[in-house]
Structure 1
Amino acid sequence: MGNNHLAPLPSVAYGVVLLAAAIAYWLLQRRIIAADGSESVLRHALGVDWKGKLSPVLYLAGIGATLVDARLGQALYALVALLWLIPDRRIEHELEH
């Protein structure tokens, strides 16, 4: 966001880029699962995938919140980043079995 730390438009644009990345991640998962078929190891490993579903929702909320206060929107973007710092061992655990 450069020199426009709390300007709403760059913060909204950043949120849109983050949302696009989350959608691309979801699409990639769906394509891999479709290619593997109904018995996909990835599908079984992902299960509910709460982080994958919650992230786009928080990005949308962040985009909306940025229009009210840029700091609030940026805090939501940071929250998603912190969620993804938590190690996710589902795929590793599934491959061991």
Structure 2
Amino acid sequence: MKTGRLEAFSDGVLAIVITIMVLEMKAPEDTTLQGLLAVTPVFISYLLSFIYLGIYWNNHHHLMQVTQKVNGKILWANLHLLFWLSLIPFVTSWVGEHGH
């Protein structure tokens, strides 16, 4: 199999993961600067997770550029990677709420 399907699937999973992360962020109920500062840990957690996912996406992109074709081992290894990356929204939410 060529790499196009694997790239598209991986891109889709990462897009969903990032969407879930941003939907977990809630706007503060307090409209003051203090209210905004109260959600700083959540925003920093999101920012770091977004950068982390961006690095993985970039590395995946470059890896697929040099890969000629995909076999079963590569498919399963990629699914393994995507499984762990799909847990990032949970970890991001947990760290943002309890990581003080």
Q: Taking structure 1 as the reference length, what is the TM-score of the superposition?
A: 0.52
1:51-90 to 2 correspondences below 5 Å: 51-69=49-67, 70=70, 71=74, 75=77, 78-79=80-81, 81-82=83-84, 84=87, 88=91, 89-90=94-95
Residues 45 and 90, structure 1, Cα contact 8 Å, conserved in 2: yes
The question of whether the paired residues in 1 share the 8 Å contact of 2:45 and 2:96 is answered with: no
Q: Please give the alpha-carbon distance, in whole angstroms, between the structure 1 residues aligned to 2:57 and 2:12.
A: 9
More relative contact order, 1 or 2 (CA 8 Å, 6+ apart): 2
SS of residue in 2 equivalent to 1:7: coil
Is it true that 1:93 corresponds to 2:95 in the alignment? no
Q: What's the secondary structure of 2:37's corresponding residue?
A: coil
Runs (4+) of structure 1 moved beyond 6 Å?
A: none
Unaligned segments of structure 1, at least 5 residues? 1-5
Unaligned 5+ segments in structure 2 are: 29-34
Aligned-partner SS, 2:51: helix
1:14-46 CA-partner distances (Å, limit 9, x unpaired): 12202322442354356x3xx2151343x3245
TM-superposed CA distance for 1:75, in Å, is 4.2
**Contact persistence 2:41–2:97 (CA under 8 A):** no
